Amino acid sequence: MTHAGISTAILGLATSGLALTAACTHHGQNPEAEPTAPLRAVRSGTLTGPFNPADPNLIPDVAERVLPAVVSVASTRAAKVESPDLPLDNPFFRHFFGPGLPSPFSMPPGAAPEEHGLGSGVIVGKDLILTNAHVVADAKEIEVTAGDRRSIEAKVLGVDTKSDLAVLRITSDTSGLHSLEFADSSRVRLGQVVLAVGNPFGVGQTVTMGIVSAKGRADLGIEAYEDFIQTDAAINPGNSGGALVDLEGKLVGIPTAILSRSGGYMGVGFAIPSNMAKPIMTSLVEHGRVVRGYLGVGIQSLDAELARALGVPSANGVLISDVKANGPAARAGIQRGDVILSLNGQPVHTTGELRNVVASAGVNAKVKIEFWRANSRRTAEVTLADMPDEPSAKGVGASTPAPTRAGLSVQAIDNVARQRLKLPADVRGVVVTAVEPGGPAARAGIQPGDVIEQLDRQAITSEDQLSRAWDAAKSGVVAVLVWRDGSTFYATIKR
């Protein structure tokens, strides 16, 4: 499996008619239009008295006590409108916008089209509302409505797009409002009954019931940091930011996305677990942003094929595909090609798992990493830093000669190529100028503009070196180190 395996898995669902959809609604200016969710990867008081699971009134009692803590969150933001290529009076556009309805192309001068979103939120603590980032992101106005239809004034306190969480602070009278208590989501069990509470499609507060279908869902490509609880409780657009609760009425998770062909419920929903949401909320309240631990490495999943190509004994662990200069890992001696096996004694199996553990460990935390290198297990102690801003993407080059070895053509890096691709001075290798459609390199995910730094663990700086290394490789699967968009990763090319 190549570095593109995660996105390929998602695209495989999409090409069969499935899409990951954020569980909130957005619609334009027509207030009568049925709200629909864009198909995109996504994006109450505490119970008192004894807990008796055999009580036939248990679920109604839980619902009655949870509903007052779940609110509706409506937002207004500027809509993005592109200029049409067709005449503005084209009948197609009038049919699309409807007779008598204003289109973005027939508005009064100075007027701007608006987009209206609708999601949910959960009151936690005295004056805080926890919701999804995509419910309130870039909002000009926010309207919060309690279950008793009371209007609540609130302002955005902090937004974390990497986890899709946001916190609002209530600025109006909080008397009579109820809140939910956080559950320990690590204790949630598969098959456990849960309730989803929110405002689907804007119809009003709704309670649905299901079970926990899976835990620890990550590497789905919905958010940068994922550790989802999967449930079959009905979640629809408008449920985003609402509550997933257990039968004690405690907050287990925040519904965020669904897997769907139509944009509606199909039995697969995802919620951010409470144990992930709570510290992120605390960080947003205290710092206005999320302070995450930073290891300073690029990582990718290790499958059996790549493990064999790199000479690693098994596919257990996470492969280091890049090490940032002067970063925490580099200072501790971690190298590209190492395979992380455990962190602080806890085994790590997936990139999402490692990313979450490092982030939650925090800045200046000292972590003990066990890794595999050169046929032996080794350890290193790393002091984590603060997560920097994400680097911007780089441009890619154009294609020229016909592909040769491995179904690709390359050229040495000269000053022109370095400037065009904005390559850092320490990047050495050959630039991919063309890839044969359907060839070995294309199937491995190699693209024009990529820089091949190593092939079969040998440094490559010319087309001749690439050809010799390819011909000399003894394995049927060859590991290739590729630089793209500011970082490196490993890919495997079948001979």
The CA distance from 192 to 65, in Å, is: 20
Is-catalytic flag, 240?
yes
> Exactly one of 26, 27, 134, 342 is catalytic; which is it?
134
- C-alpha to C-alpha distance for 46 and 60, rounded to whole angstroms: 14
Instruction: Confirm whether 426 is a catalytic residue.
Output: no
Residues in the chain: 495
Q: Name the active-site residue from 213, 240, 274, 301.
A: 240
Active site residue 164: yes
Catalytic annotation, pick one of 44, 120, 164, 260: 164
Is the Cβ–Cβ distance between 123 and 115 less than 8 Å?
Answer: no
Give the Cα separation of 115 and 224 in Å (integer). 25
Q: Measured on CA atoms in the order 166, 171, 177, 183, is the torsion positive or negative?
A: positive
- State the catalytic residues: 134, 164, 240
